[in-house]
C-alpha cells in the first residue's frame, strides 16, 4: 500500500503506446543519504560533475549510456536527451536558487545558468482552466501549447466518471457493469472517444498516454507537473492534443443524469488527462523552471507518485537511484539530440 495524498498513478511502461500499439537544505548539503559508487546503468567515456558545490542532487537521464560520475542514473522511462534534476532534500521556501547546467551529447550542447524562486504554495495555479494551466507550464518551459481534442475529452470525461463511480484511482476499467465503463485499455478508450465524435483511430496521433490524479481542477494539473513521470507527456513536444476532465465534467454528463445519478458532485476529483501526439515530432530545447520562474513548489514527495522515481518499486524501478522520500522540486531539461550524454556539470545553489 502506497500512502500519499493526493495520490498519482501512471500505468506500466506499456502505457506509452506508439505506432499502433517544510524542512529545507540551506545550501550546504542535507541529512539525507548521499549517492555513492557512481550511478546506475552502463557508463560511457564521458564524465559528470554533479553538485561539486552547492546542494546535493540526484540526476536521472535518458539514453543507453551515462557519463561517469556520482549521482547520475539512467532511467528507462526518459528519452534520449531528457534530464531530471532532483535536490536530495526539500528546498527552502520563498528563496532564490541559481542552477548552472552544462550538458554535452557529442556535438549537441546545453549550457545555461538561471535563477528561480520557491514558494510554499502546495499547488500554485495561475490560469482560468486546466488546459490553460497545462499550456502555461508548456510555454513557460519553451514548447508549444497543445490543443483540446474532443474525442480525447470524451474519453477523459468517461474515465473520470468511472473512477468516481467506483471510488478508485485507476488506469483500468475492470467492471463492465458500471455506467461509465468503456474499456480496460486507455488507448481503446481514446479510440472510442474519437469514434464517438466522428473521427478514426487516435485522430492522427501515433502515441497516446494518460495521467490520472485523485484530486481535480487546476490544482491537479499543478500537482501532476510537480512529478517526474507524470510530467513526461505534459512536457514533450511529441504531445500535441489533450482531453482533460474530472468529477465536475462527469457529474453533468448524460450518463449521470439518465435515468438517474450514479455519482455526486462531491468527493475526489479524479482528474484524467488523455494525451496524443506524433512520436516522430522533433524535440526542441526546453527546461523548467524557466528563467526567473516564481512560485516553484519547494518540495516533491516521491511516494505520492506511482511508480516512485526514487524508490525500489518492488524491483521494477526504471532506474537504480537511491530511495529518497521528500526531495526538492523536479527540474527538467530537454536537449534535442539522438546522442547519449557524455558530459554533465550541474550545480544548484541558494542565493544568499
Q: Is 281 exposed, middle or buried (0-12, 13-18, 19+ CB in 10 A)?
A: middle
pLDDT of residue 275: 97
Of the chain, the percentage scoring pLDDT greater than 70 comes to 83
Grid cell locating 223? 500537482
> Is residue 136 a contact partner of residue 225, using CB atoms and an 8 Å limit?
no
CA 257 – CA 111 distance, rounded (Å): 55
- At 9 the pLDDT is 53
pLDDT in tens, 291-331: 999 999 999 999 888 888 997 655 455 677 888 999 999 99
Beta-bridged to residue 82, according to DSSP, are 334
Residue whose grid cell is 523548467: 288
More confident: 194 or 122:
194
The answer to which of 36-50, 79-93, 133-147, 294-308 has the lowest mean pLDDT is 36-50
Task: Give the model's pLDDT for residue 69.
Answer: 75
Q: How confident is the model at residue 32 (pLDDT cuts 50, 70, 90)?
A: very low
Decide if 299 contacts 329 (C-beta within 8 A): yes
Strand partners, 43: 66
Contact 75, 229 (CB under 8 A): no
Q: Would you place residue 137 in the very low, low, confident or very high pLDDT band (cuts 50, 70, 90)? A: very high
154-176 residue pLDDT tens: 999 999 999 999 999 999 999 99
pLDDT of residue 48: 58
256-290 tens-digit pLDDT: 987 889 999 999 999 999 999 998 888 899 999 99
Instruction: Please provide the average confidence, as pLDDT, over all residues in the chain.
Output: 84
pLDDT one-digit tens code per residue, 66-81:
887 778 889 999 999 9
For residues 48-73, average pLDDT: 78
pLDDT tens column, 107-123: 999 999 999 999 998 77
Mean pLDDT of 198-212: 96
pLDDT at residue 259, as a whole number: 81
Report the DSSP beta bridge partners of residue 18: 207
Grid cell 466522428 is found at 198
Of the segments 23-37, 41-55, 233-247, which one has the largest average pLDDT value?
Answer: 233-247
DSSP bridge partners of 343: 47, 104
Q: Which of 75, 81, 13 is nearest to 39 (CA)?
A: 75
Average pLDDT, stretch 132-150? 97
Q: What share of the chain is helix, strand, coil (3-state, %, to 5)?
A: 20, 30, 50
Does residue 54 carry a pLDDT above 70?
no
Cα angle value 232/2/320 (rounded, 5°)? 55
Domains and CATH numbers, the chain: 25-120+298-350 (no CATH), 126-277 (3.40.33.10)
Amino acid at each position: 500500500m502506497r500512502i500519499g495524498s493526493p495520490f498519482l498513478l501512471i500505468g506500466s511502461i506499456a502505457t506509452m503506446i506508439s505506432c499502433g500499439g517544510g524542512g529545507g537544505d540551506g545550501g550546504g548539503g542535507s541529512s539525507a543519504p548521499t549517492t555513492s559508487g557512481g550511478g546506475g546503468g552502463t557508463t560511457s567515456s564521458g564524465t559528470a560533475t554533479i553538485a561539486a558545490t552547492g546542494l546535493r542532487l540526484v540526476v536521472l537521464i535518458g539514453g543507453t549510456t551515462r557519463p561517469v560520475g556520482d549521482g547520475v542514473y539512467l532511467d528507462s522511462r526518459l528519452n534520449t536527451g531528457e534530464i531530471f534534476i532532483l535536490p536530495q532534500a526539500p528546498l527552502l521556501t520563498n528563496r532564490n536558487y541559481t542552477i548552472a547546467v552544462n550538458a554535452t551529447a557529442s556535438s549537441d550542447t546545453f549550457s545555461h545558468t538561471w535563477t528561480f524562486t520557491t514558494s510554499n504554495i502546495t499547488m500554485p495555479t495561475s490560469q482560468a482552466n486546466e488546459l490553460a494551466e497545462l499550456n502555461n507550464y508548456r510555454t513557460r518551459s519553451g514548447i508549444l501549447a497543445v490543443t483540446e481534442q474532443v474525442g480525447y475529452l470524451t474519453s477523459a470525461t468517461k474515465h473520470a466518471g468511472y473512477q468516481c463511480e467506483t471510488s478508485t484511482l485507476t488506469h483500468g476499467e475492470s467492471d463492465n457493469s458500471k455506467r461509465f465503463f468503456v474499456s480496460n485499455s486507455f488507448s481503446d478508450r481514446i479510440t472510442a472517444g474519437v469514434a464517438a465524435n466522428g473521427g478514426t483511430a487516435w485522430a492522427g496521433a501515433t502515441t497516446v498516454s494518460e495521467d490520472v490524479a485523485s484530486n481535480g481542477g487546476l490544482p491537479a494539473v499543478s500537482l501532476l507537473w510537480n512529478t517526474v513521470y507524470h510530467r513526461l507527456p505534459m512536457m514533450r513536444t511529441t504531445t500535441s492534443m489533450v482531453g482533460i476532465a474530472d468529477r465536475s465534467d462527469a457529474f453533468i454528463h448524460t450518463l449521470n443524469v439518465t435515468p438517474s445519478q450514479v455519482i455526486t458532485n462531491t468527493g475526489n476529483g479524479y482528474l484524467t488527462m488523455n494525451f496524443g501526439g506524433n512520436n516522430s515530432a522533433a524535440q526542441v530545447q526546453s527546461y523548467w523552471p524557466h528563467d526567473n520562474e516564481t512560485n516553484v513548489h519547494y518540495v516533491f514527495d516521491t511516494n505520492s507518485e506511482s511508480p516512485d522515481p526514487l524508490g525500489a518499486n518492488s524491483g521494477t524501478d526504471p532506474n537504480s537511484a537511491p530511495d529518497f522520500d521528500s526531495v526538492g522540486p523536479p527540474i527538467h531539461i530537454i536537449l534535442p539530440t539522438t546522442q547519449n550524454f557524455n558530459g554533465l556539470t550541474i550545480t544548484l545553489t541558494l542565493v544568499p
